[in-house]
A and B are shown apart, each in its own frame.
Chain A
Amino acid sequence: MLKMNQSVKMIVTLVVIAVVVAAALAGVNILTKDKIAQNDESKLQNSLKEVLPADTYEVLKKTDEFTVYQAVKNDEQIGYCVQNSVSGYGGAIQMLVGMDKEFKVTKITILSHGETPGLGANATKDNFKKQFEGKQAGDLRVDKNSSGETKIKAISGATITSTAVTDAVNAAKKCVEEATK
């Protein structure tokens, strides 16, 4: 009999805690989910405007692997923004690539990454990213020593990260081709 009472007390306590906890979480979720969605949306809009300034961005194609946006400015289609991801040194690197209609890169930004601080993480610095601006996406290659019309100079000590970012920019062109075929 005593064992039964003990078991019941344990079960009841845990169930009550679980119910109260679930209610509290549901409550806070309701209070914050709109703000969180808003934050995510404005973060995306800010990133899109950063890589290719325009008035609006229409989703042309969205898959699990990539999203292609068409940038429209003054009612004219001026280019594409591609959000894709690539395997870096420390996991997936989420990229946003802005290109004009001829696949010339306008600007790139790295949305998230798990690269090593001080090495691959320096891919987010302007002096690396600027190399892509004005170059044709699709045939870019990484070079350890110099940059050029189709060459991207790798970050010293972070060749894998540099190659991954370059691959993502090249892949962005393929994503647009797939979205517009």
Chain B
Amino acid sequence: MSKLYNLTKGLLKENPVLVLLLGMCPSLATTTSVINGLGMGLSAMAVLVCSNAVISALRKLIPGKVRIAAYIVIIATFVTIVEMLLKAFVPSLAESLGVFIPLIVVNCIILARAEAFASKNTVWQSVLDGIGMGLGFTLALVIIASVREILGAGTWCGLSVTPQSYQNNPALMFILPSGGFLTLGLVLGAINLIKSKGGKKHD
């Protein structure tokens, strides 16, 4: 295991959305546009790195029986801080993401990494895990959002990538909830297909 395994595993091998199947709600809700997905991914990553670091630093001091309560309070604090900073310095993003910023508190990825990793590893390894998982989350969101935005609105990051005739009448389903589920399912299927083929090649 390379020293940076904890950083890289979150990107593909143990991608929180595509492999661990965590963080499904924001993966459906914030992927109607690539910019929103990117903003959500990076905000969640900021919270994840900070909460992993603090929880890891305090791992020997928090009694087991109250650990969930303690983790949630710490995570909620960082989310609130991120929300205040976004509202102050990037108000347009805060407005686009709206209610989904406070919902980062209940993003399973953050609590899952706190419980499964940060509470049992060193601060530095936890930070790497946070960065890797955060980037993997962002990557998954961007992939799903790209499919949904291109097919559902004809744009990518707001830029036209399809002819105007398509943009006037796009496949709206993709930016509605049903399209979200469909895209997520298809992306998961595609990833599994790639992984199974990759396995066969190595044999």
Pairwise interchain contact B85-A9, C-beta atoms closer than 8 A: no
Interface, chain B (partner A; CB < 8 A): 32, 58, 61-63, 65-66, 69-70, 73-74, 77, 80-81, 84-85, 87-89, 91, 95, 152-153, 170, 172, 175-176
Asked if A44 is at the interface of the complex by the 8 Å CB criterion, the answer is: no
Pairwise interchain contact B32-A25, C-beta atoms closer than 8 A: no
Pairwise interchain contact A21-B74, C-beta atoms closer than 8 A: yes
Segment at the interface with B among A64-72, A112-120, A130-138, A161-169: A112-120
Pairwise interchain contact A25-B66, C-beta atoms closer than 8 A: no
Pairwise interchain contact A32-B87, C-beta atoms closer than 8 A: yes
Pairwise interchain contact B62-A117, C-beta atoms closer than 8 A: no
- Within 8 Å CB of A14, what residues of B? 66, 69-70, 73
Rounded to whole Å, the gap between the CB of A97 and the closest CB of chain B is: 20
Pairwise interchain contact A116-B73, C-beta atoms closer than 8 A: no
Pairwise interchain contact B69-A25, C-beta atoms closer than 8 A: no
A14-25 contact mask (Cβ, 8 Å, vs B): 1 or 0:
100110010011
Pairwise interchain contact B87-A25, C-beta atoms closer than 8 A: no
Pairwise interchain contact B172-A35, C-beta atoms closer than 8 A: no
Name the interface residues of A25-46: CB closer than 8 Å to any CB of B: 25, 28-29, 32-33, 35-36, 39, 43
- Within 8 Å CB of A9, what residues of B? 63
Asked if A10 is at the interface of the complex by the 8 Å CB criterion, the answer is: yes
- Within 8 Å CB of B58, what residues of A? 17
CA distance A18 to B62 in the complex (A): 13
Pairwise interchain contact B84-A10, C-beta atoms closer than 8 A: no
Using A10-B63, A35-B88, A118-B176 as known contacts, list a sample of 9 further A-B pairs with CB atoms less than 8 Å apart, ordered by residue number in A. A10-B65, A13-B70, A14-B66, A14-B73, A18-B73, A24-B77, A28-B81, A29-B84, A118-B170
Rounded to whole Å, the gap between the CB of B19 and the closest CB of chain A is: 28
- Within 8 Å CB of A32, what residues of B? 84-85, 87-88
Pairwise interchain contact B175-A24, C-beta atoms closer than 8 A: no
Q: Name B73's contact: one of A17, A36, A117, A118 (CB within 8 Å).
A: A17
Pairwise interchain contact A118-B88, C-beta atoms closer than 8 A: no
Q: Name A118's contact: one of B84, B85, B175 (CB within 8 Å).
A: B175
Pairwise interchain contact B91-A43, C-beta atoms closer than 8 A: yes
- Within 8 Å CB of B175, what residues of A? 117-118
Asked if A6 is at the interface of the complex by the 8 Å CB criterion, the answer is: yes
Among residues of B, the one whose C-beta sits closest to the C-beta of A20 is B77
CA distance A4 to B77 in the complex (A): 29
Q: Assess A10 versus B66: contact at CB under 8 Å? Given A28-B84, A39-B87.
A: yes
CA distance A79 to B89 in the complex (A): 33
CA distance A32 to B80 in the complex (A): 12
Among residues of B, the one whose C-beta sits closest to the C-beta of A157 is B172
Pairwise interchain contact B81-A13, C-beta atoms closer than 8 A: no
Pairwise interchain contact B63-A117, C-beta atoms closer than 8 A: no
Rounded to whole Å, the gap between the CB of A128 and the closest CB of chain B is: 14
Pairwise interchain contact B153-A118, C-beta atoms closer than 8 A: yes
- Within 8 Å CB of A28, what residues of B? 80-81, 84-85
Rounded to whole Å, the gap between the CB of A113 and the closest CB of chain B is: 11
Q: Assess A35 versus B89: contact at CB under 8 Å? Given A13-B70, A117-B175, A118-B176.
A: yes
**A-B complex: 7 closest residue pairs judged by Cβ atoms:** A32-B88, A35-B88, A118-B172, A21-B77, A32-B84, A39-B91, A117-B175
